[in-house]
Structure 1
């Protein structure tokens, strides 16, 4: 008799489930065996919610951070959460954008599970090139989803403009993990010192704002301001302090040390970095693009042209307390409850 999860038993299950019998490479074989093991394990494990997403270790982008925070909120509600598997008791599956292995979801799919698709983008618009990513996401949505969660009204409307209608869409903004991002312990703001600016990006794509930050590097009054850039940039700055990508805890510390967050990312549907900065108590100066205006509301000032930035920075510095008082970001508890209601896991 074979051990419960022996390779031979997994192989026999693969044959019974009509896994492909064509000649396969090593990676495909390992994926198939992993899927077979997941199917077997699903007969014996007990979960409520499955999150299909390929998590990466920090420091990583905001999507990973948000889904980790959502996972914690689900567990706080007494729900058991699994990753990239579906057990016999799983009631709902949240699959994220295109950041998961579709073939695995096909093999593990159960008719009793509610499938909800979390969508951002349009990603090709965001990246500034046509790679067919959004068409693929739309096809996946039509294939699997019963409901869709967009992260901003901008994202939903932009997809509609591109002729893409998704299954039963709702809009739920992201939120930051309050155990990491909060306003407690902030450095006190003072007009008797330089105003401290900060920007960040985990990608060196020029649409993340590097040309704007380069303009600031060359034109900002450095007797009035100092600035830090955290993450990856295609530009090396002369006056802006550059810090390599850091984990969330260090990012929160840096937010606490600065006064105003600047984001110049273009067509960004729902910037987690912007949400985290606001949650840490910083007003923002932002490019009027993507979901930025929805997120910031009255807690900052928007620009269309880079030449507007010096005046806007002076304005926010001069009325700092008024802008700061307008920060209104939903908590992860509120956002988590909205997600769990859409997933039909809580009433």
Structure 2
């Protein structure tokens, strides 16, 4: 198959979406498929839209370019949209509506969690043909290690985020920073943060590490004892997956899709108010969850195979899919709607 993926892959440390693009493109190429990151090939079988925001640096092509390709080059190409974002994640405005209007030209929709699908379908219209394909990370890099609580040093909590947005959990991370100033708590725990930090956040008790990826990141994660994620309205993420694959029991926020990915592999908390109690519970039950971590199965091979299975199934049923394509949405009016919501999102982002 000839498959176009709408991403500009960045080498080095970047966000979870970039990791997804690396995993999928390498997997498909290793299985004999041609991968493109543009729409220059006339004989594409599948176009995967990963983000409809034309203003985002990592976007290789947007819905309007896809419409032009279908109109003028190849009307038989099959269109798939991967949805991994929402306004609720970072407090943006206009993104949810833009995702929906872009979806009107799609043949199939992939959501990365049940939580995200339910959120979007409650607000807007999306294709009936859809799948949930959960994220996965590379277990050959983030290798499992059997964990035990240390007896000769402090218990080490670790997390990592590329984004410096406060919604990544900085209400809890700031609270943890304050707890670490207390002699009793600070003598027992330490907190390592890998990645970018919001401006004006107090981090005097937090050990900050620069953003990194691959084996360097895996080594830092493996040096920890507990993986903490306090991200708010997380559509899925890769960070907690990478920590879990390294064998670290999870202390995770009861928010977004985190329970879908983390349940059974650690202890959840609701926020600042019950964070310390949940941490103490995890410490008491540490050995139970440490044994569980070898069963954690959100791996990139499984994720990529599900994408490949979907693409092959769609190609086999291409004629039927094209017969039911909503051709009325490939109109000049819909072009204006997409461009309008792209501009709304861009303006709202500038105002924020």
Q: TM-score range by the shorter chain?
A: 0.7 to 0.9
**Aligned to 2:248, what secondary structure does the other structure show?**
coil
Structure 1 residues 40-82: Cα deviation after superposition (integer angstroms, max 9, x where no partner):
xxxxxxx622111132332210000111011121122222212
Distance 2:285 2:65 in 1: 52
The alpha carbon displacement at 1:88 in A equals 3.7
Distance 1:164 1:100 in 2: 25
Residue matched to 2:220: 254
Distance 1:326 1:344 in 2: 34
Which deviates more, 64-73 or 308-317? 308-317
Distance 2:81 2:231 in 1: 24
Distance 2:40 2:114 in 1: 31
Distance 1:261 1:66 in 2: 21
Residue matched to 2:107: 146
Matched, 1:156 2:120: no
Match of 1:120 among 84, 96, 100: 84
**Aligned to 1:326, what secondary structure does the other structure show?**
helix
The alpha carbon displacement at 1:133 in A equals 1.5
**Aligned to 2:117, what secondary structure does the other structure show?**
helix
Matched, 1:340 2:308: yes
Residue matched to 1:330: 298
1:175–1:335 CA contact under 8 A, matched in 2: yes
The alpha carbon displacement at 1:187 in A equals 7.0
Residue matched to 1:224: 188
Residue matched to 1:94: 48
Residue matched to 2:158: 198
Residue matched to 1:19: none
Pick the structure with greater CA Rg. Answer: 1
Residue matched to 1:180: 141
- TM-score under structure 2 normalisation? 0.79
What is the number of residues matched between the two proteins? 297
Distance 1:95 1:207 in 2: 25
**Aligned to 2:104, what secondary structure does the other structure show?**
helix
2:221–2:243 CA contact under 8 A, matched in 1: yes
The alpha carbon displacement at 1:162 in A equals 1.4
2:177–2:202 CA contact under 8 A, matched in 1: no
Residue matched to 1:28: none
1:141–1:167 CA contact under 8 A, matched in 2: no
Runs (4+) of structure 1 moved beyond 3 Å? 106-109, 186-189
1:58–1:167 CA distance, 2 compared to 1 (3 A): farther
**Aligned to 1:266, what secondary structure does the other structure show?**
coil
1:203–1:181 CA distance, 2 compared to 1 (3 A): same
Structure 1 residues 90-137: Cα deviation after superposition (integer angstroms, max 9, x where no partner):
321212032343243334332222111100122x1111132x122112
Q: Which has the higher contact order (CA 8 A, sep 6+)?
A: 2
**Aligned to 1:50, what secondary structure does the other structure show?**
strand
1:187–1:258 CA contact under 8 A, matched in 2: no
Distance 2:172 2:292 in 1: 25
**Aligned to 2:244, what secondary structure does the other structure show?**
helix
Which deviates more, 150-159 or 98-107? 98-107
The alpha carbon displacement at 1:323 in A equals 0.9
Which deviates more, 149-158 or 307-316? 307-316
Residue matched to 1:313: 279
2:109–2:126 CA contact under 8 A, matched in 1: no
Match of 2:32 among 78, 99, 118: 78
Matches within 5 A, 1:53-64: 53-64=7-18
2:2–2:35 CA contact under 8 A, matched in 1: yes
Distance 2:38 2:202 in 1: 39
1:177–1:302 CA distance, 2 compared to 1 (3 A): same
Residue matched to 2:257: 291
**Aligned to 2:312, what secondary structure does the other structure show?**
coil
